């Protein structure tokens, strides 16, 4: 029986040995076919598309900065929560700034009272000037009347002297005429002095008006400064309440209640969740056929099965190296040619469909169709 079994299995063994002999060739052929298929696909894809994996999702963001110093009184948001523009986020203790505002308003009211007093002084100076002018007019009128009286007395004296020479007038009558001339002359001189005094008073009154006007202008200038101080104090009171500058989502917080913050300190950042785009860095050798408006296939590393469409929005006018902190200087003598990369902005078609998947900073692959 054993000899019979060995004899019957010999053809099967030979057949198996034959299959094993051809198996490496079959595997090699299959590998070549598969490699050729994928190679052909890569060749066709390379002629139709320019691709890069040096790309990221970008989005608008706005830092929330402290504008005044103080202790944080309340934080009204948590990490990664959605906020609306104008929503109250953080409150800094405003007591110090409330006091400064009250002091500025009190200073303004004091200056306002000083302005009212200065205006009253101006009115008094103007009334005094009007009185001086009136007195000057009265003095001039009196002087004119007195000059007429003096002239009449002088004519009467001349006539009496002629009559006295003709012995038609007594000595006493002549002396009375002489005395009358002297009295009228002194009265006239007194009126002239009153005119001079009135003119001097007019100068003093005008100087008083000018001084009052200058004082008013000075106080008005002070009022402007104090009004600016009030506005500044109100701004600082308002700065104690930090609100969201845009709609979006809070990033990681850097502030807690009770913390002391300084002006300019970054408390957290708000990322806009409604606007996203892709910045892809293509090699300079890939730009020959690339232009604005071309279709782009975008694949997120985080969601490889998500098909996102986009289009080329713009190409940078400078390579990424030009925006580096220390741009390379090829004139230094140590020149090594390196393929440069140019940032290309890609806008996402219908981004609202992917707002739950899109995140700023995610890595993507971008394929730009350049054969159209």
DSSP 157-224: HHHHHHHHHTT-S-HHHHHHHHHHHHHHHHHHHHHHHHHHHHHHHHHHHHHHHHHHHHHHHHHHHHHH
End-to-end CA separation in angstroms for the chain = 77
> Cα–chain-centroid distance for residue 346?
30
31-45, 88-102, 219-233, 261-275, range with the lowest pLDDT = 31-45
Closest listed residue to residue 180, CA positions, set 191, 172, 169:
172
The pLDDT score that the predictor gives to residue 2 is: 43
Q: How many residues does the chain have?
A: 372
CA dihedral 174, 175, 177, 180 (to 10 degrees): 180
Distance CA 97, CA 237 (A): 5
329: which 2 tokens? 């200087």
8 Å CB contact between 279 and 58: yes
11-20, 71-80, 355-364, range with the lowest pLDDT = 11-20
8 Å CB contact between 282 and 42: no
Residue 173 phi/psi, 5° resolution? -65, -40
Examine the pLDDT at 9 and tell me if it is beyond 50: yes
The residues of the chain that CATH labels 2.40.30.170 are 51-85+250-326+334-369
Q: pLDDT of 42-66, one tens digit each?
A: 665 567 888 899 999 998 888 999 9
- The tokens 């590393």 sit on which residue? 301
Question: Over the Cα atoms of the chain, what is R_g?
Answer: 52
Mean of per-residue pLDDT scores for the chain: 84
The pLDDT score that the predictor gives to residue 5 is: 46
Examine the pLDDT at 132 and tell me if it is beyond 80: no
Half-sphere exposure of 2 (CA within 13 A, CB side): 0
CATH topology of domain 95-241: Helix Hairpins (1.10.287)
The residues of the chain that CATH labels 1.10.287.620 are 95-241
Examine the pLDDT at 261 and tell me if it is beyond 60: yes
The pLDDT score that the predictor gives to residue 4 is: 46
Give how far Cα 82 sits from Cα of 23, 156, 186, 271, 369, Å.
62, 111, 99, 9, 36
Instruction: Output 14 or 170, whichever has higher pLDDT.
Output: 170
Query: 19: pLDDT confidence band, cut at 50, 70 and 90?
Result: low
Please check whether the domain covering 51-85+250-326+334-369 is classified as CATH 3.40.50.2030: no
The pLDDT score that the predictor gives to residue 6 is: 46
Residues 6+ apart with CB under 8 A from 125: 205, 208, 209, 211, 212
Residues 6+ apart with CB under 8 A from 89: 64, 75, 76, 77, 83, 242, 243, 244, 267
Q: pLDDT of 289-324, one tens digit each?
A: 899 999 999 999 999 889 899 999 999 988 887 777
Q: Going edge to edge, which strands form the sheet with 88-92?
A: 241-243, 88-92, 70-75, 260-261
CA dihedral 65, 68, 71, 74 (to 10 degrees): -50
- The tokens 């090829």 sit on which residue? 330
Q: Does the pTM of the predicted model rise above 0.75?
A: no
Instruction: Output 344 or 7, whichever has higher pLDDT.
Output: 344
Distance CA 372, CA 289 (A): 9
Task: Name the DSSP letter for residue 360.
Answer: T
């Amino acid at each position: 029986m054993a000899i019979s079994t060995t004899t019957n299995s010999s053809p099967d063994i030979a057949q198996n040995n034959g299959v094993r002999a051809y198996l490496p060739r079959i595997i090699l052929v299959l590998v070549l076919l598969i490699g050729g298929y994928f190679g052909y696909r890569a060749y066709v894809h390379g002629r139709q598309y320019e691709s890069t994996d040096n790309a990221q999702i970008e989005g608008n963001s706005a830092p929330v900065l402290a504008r005044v110093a103080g202790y944080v009184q309340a934080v009204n948001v948590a990490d990664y929560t959605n906020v609306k523009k104008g929503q109250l986020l953080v409150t800094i203790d405003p007591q110090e700034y409330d006091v400064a505002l009250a002091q500025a308003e009190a200073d303004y009211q004091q200056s306002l009272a000083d302005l009212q007093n200065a205006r009253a002084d101006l009115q008094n100076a103007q009334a005094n000037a009007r009185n001086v002018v009136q007195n000057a007019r009265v003095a001039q009128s009196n002087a004119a009347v007195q000059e007429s009286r003096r002239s009449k007395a002088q004519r009467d004296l001349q006539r009496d002297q002629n009559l006295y020479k003709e012995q038609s007038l007594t000595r006493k009558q002549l002396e009375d005429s002489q005395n009358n001339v002297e009295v009228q002359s002194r009265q006239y001189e007194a009126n002239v002095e009153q005119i001079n005094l009135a003119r001097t008073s007019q100068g003093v009154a005008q100087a008083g008006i000018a001084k009052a006007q200058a004082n008013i202008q000075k106080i008005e200038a002070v009022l402007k400064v104090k009004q600016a101080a009030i506005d500044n104090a109100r701004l600082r009171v308002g700065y104690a309440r930090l609100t969201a500058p845009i709609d979006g989502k809070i990033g990681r917080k850097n502030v807690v209640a009770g913390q002391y913050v300084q002006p300019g300190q970054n408390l957290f950042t708000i990322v806009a969740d409604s606007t996203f785009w892709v910045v892809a860095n293509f090699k300079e050798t890939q730009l020959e056929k690339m232009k604005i408006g071309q279709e782009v296939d975008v694949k997120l590393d985080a969601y490889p099965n998500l098909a996102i469409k986009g289009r080329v929005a713009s190409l940078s006018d400078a390579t990424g190296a030009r925006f580096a902190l220390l741009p390379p200087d090829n004139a230094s003598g140590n020149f090594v040619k390196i393929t440069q990369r140019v940032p290309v902005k890609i806008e996402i078609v219908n981004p609202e469909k992917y707002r739950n998947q899109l995140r700023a900073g995610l890595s993507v692959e971008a394929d730009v169709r350049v054969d159209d």
